[in-house]
Structure 1
Amino acid sequence: MSQHNQPTVAVITPTGLHPARLPFLEELYESIRAQEEGSWEWIIAPNGPRVDPDVVPSAITRDPRVSVITRPGPGPAPARNTALNHVRAPRVAFVDDDDRIPPLSLAMRNEHAIATGLRWVAGRSADWYPESGSLSTWVCPTPVGQHAAGDVWTYWPSPEASKPPLGHCMLLTDTRLAQAVGHGGLHKGEDYSFLMGVCARSAGELLPDVVYHRRVHAGRWTAEDAYRDQAEFDARTHAWLKGRAERELLAESTF
């Protein structure tokens, strides 16, 4: 492949390809097409024992920048990790199949990463209400600005108190760093572990601009009453301990 066609940013989307979410997937595609960062690749990662990749809308699969990498097994964690095997771009972002990204999302973070040499750059996330078109920005516990490796963990007092102080979909990450950290094999909350690993191993920066629109709708998995169960709490605890351990090991390695 020529250098001209080499993507600069990859987007990875795990999906169960549920019929009700296929229109969301098409909306996500339109938001990626609208990116001012024109040199991108999109890796769709269908997962589940009965997933049928042929149901991905043809308007999406006709685009040569799109790859569909099917893993016939359950869970977004292995789907995300398998998709990382196919990334050609030097930086990667993760976007869920029911969300979207605003037009400057990729370019803003990618250009800042190039200019600063940082291995991760994040922006703010906003809850998006499609019926009204309104957005509500999440003011996360992690403050805007640059953060040394391991410092993001310090804004997370305990796993009992909350989820992590930054969202993994807010990140644009050096591909090698993403591959080094991975998403573990957790049933849920694998994104917590990924976030803590990325922010622990390298310095980065949170920009004040919104780069992610999180769709608010009744079918969100995380909105279900059963989502906050023991497995989700265990995932938060695992990520919190991982962040602490990474920070402590980094401090010890400086002596």
Structure 2
Amino acid sequence: MEKTLRHHDQPSVAVITPTGLDPSRLPFLKELYESLRAQEGVSLEWIIAPNGPKADPDLIPRGITQDRRVTVVARPGPGPAPARNTALNYVSAPRVAFVDDDDRIPPFSLAIRNEHAIVTGLRWVAGRSADWDPVTGSLTTWMCPTPVGRHAPGDVWTHWPDPEASKPPLGHCMLLTDTRLAQAVGHGGLHKGEDYAFLMGVCARAGGELLSDVVYHRRVHEGQWTAEDTYRDQVEFDARRHAWLKGRAERELQAEAPLSGSVGR
């Protein structure tokens, strides 16, 4: 089932959200929608990508699907990687961001990154992420290993010395990316950690910048898959190693490429 409900104006930014449409998480999806409605200074489209045999698109609240900026792209196959990649087929905006279905973004999140990308010509612009506790209302900013400022193609990888010890030094939901770059890199096909490889590919193929602004609120709640003890299994560490090797290979290939063929700015 697909519903394509386009806004008349050409959007500046696309937001892609994969979701299993777990009924217990539908209130989170509504809160995400409200945070998208609150975005200022930018026109957007929202592509919701239900995935998995239980992800019935009819579960999406009508208040969301009736918004003409929303496109629903449902696929029966499970997994966020194919859902994100499929959703990229429907992007019409020149830049794209990924937001998980249990999180939210602050009001100027898209505009800050989009305007900076336009002014600088950079193909990716990121901002900081903060852990958000909806019970207390607290926000705790993640001081990621990647420093604020400009980064040449492949440099983000240098801030990830040991994939066994940590996840990548930047989160893929912190990025606003040139749509063509996102399509060129993709999210691979891993069961988990597919976002690690996407991040390494984007930051290796083009120069970008990390801003000091907080642009993403990562919800803290009991249902987080990444918070479960079983999440840190061999599959997780294989995904980290795969992304680390990808980042190293991309960096080395960038260094060997002729200057005329470089993607970075």
1:120 aligned to 119, 124, 131, which one? Answer: 124
The answer to whether the aligner puts 1:157 opposite 2:161 as a matched pair is yes
The answer to whether the aligner puts 1:6 opposite 2:10 as a matched pair is yes
Give the structure-2-normalised TM-score: 0.94
Q: Shift in Å at residue 188 of structure 1?
A: 0.3
Cα-to-partner distance string for 1:102-137 (whole Å, 9 max, x where unaligned): 000000000000000000000000000001111000
Q: 1:224 maps to which residue?
A: 228
Aligned residues: 255
- Distance, in Å, in 2 between the alignment partners of 1:197 and 1:115 is 23
The answer for unaligned runs of 5 or more in structure 1 is none
Mapped contact 2:14–2:91 kept (Cα < 8 A): yes
User: Residues 159 and 32 of structure 1: is their aligned pair in 2 closer, same or farther, counting only changes over 3 Å?
Assistant: same
Q: 1:86 maps to which residue?
A: 90
For 1:135-174, list aligned pairs within 5 A.
Answer: 135-174=139-178
- Distance, in Å, in 2 between the alignment partners of 1:38 and 1:208 is 20
2:66 aligned to 62, 65, 82, which one? Answer: 62
Q: Shift in Å at residue 51 of structure 1?
A: 1.7
Cα-to-partner distance string for 1:156-197 (whole Å, 9 max, x where unaligned): 001111000000000000000000000000000000000000
1:183 aligned to 167, 181, 187, which one? Answer: 187
- Distance, in Å, in 1 between the alignment partners of 2:208 and 2:113 is 11
- Distance, in Å, in 1 between the alignment partners of 2:94 and 2:232 is 35
- Distance, in Å, in 1 between the alignment partners of 2:66 and 2:99 is 20
The answer to whether the aligner puts 1:206 opposite 2:213 as a matched pair is no
Q: 1:24 maps to which residue?
A: 28
Q: 1:45 maps to which residue?
A: 49
Q: 2:250 maps to which residue?
A: 246
Letter in 1 for 2:216: Y
Moved more, 181-190 or 45-54: 45-54
Q: Shift in Å at residue 37 of structure 1?
A: 3.2
Q: Structure 1 runs of 4+ off > 2 angstroms?
A: none
- Distance, in Å, in 1 between the alignment partners of 2:45 and 2:119 is 21
The answer for unaligned runs of 5 or more in structure 2 is 1-5, 260-265
Letter in 2 for 1:237: R
Q: Shift in Å at residue 203 of structure 1?
A: 0.1
- Distance, in Å, in 2 between the alignment partners of 1:67 and 1:252 is 41
Letter in 1 for 2:91: V
The answer to whether the aligner puts 1:34 opposite 2:38 as a matched pair is yes
- Distance, in Å, in 2 between the alignment partners of 1:223 and 1:78 is 23
- Distance, in Å, in 2 between the alignment partners of 1:19 and 1:3 is 28
Q: Shift in Å at residue 252 of structure 1?
A: 1.1
Mapped contact 2:19–2:55 kept (Cα < 8 A): no
- Calculate the aligned-residue CA RMSD, in Å: 1.4
SS at match of 1:85: helix
Letter in 1 for 2:202: V
Q: Shift in Å at residue 3 of structure 1?
A: 10
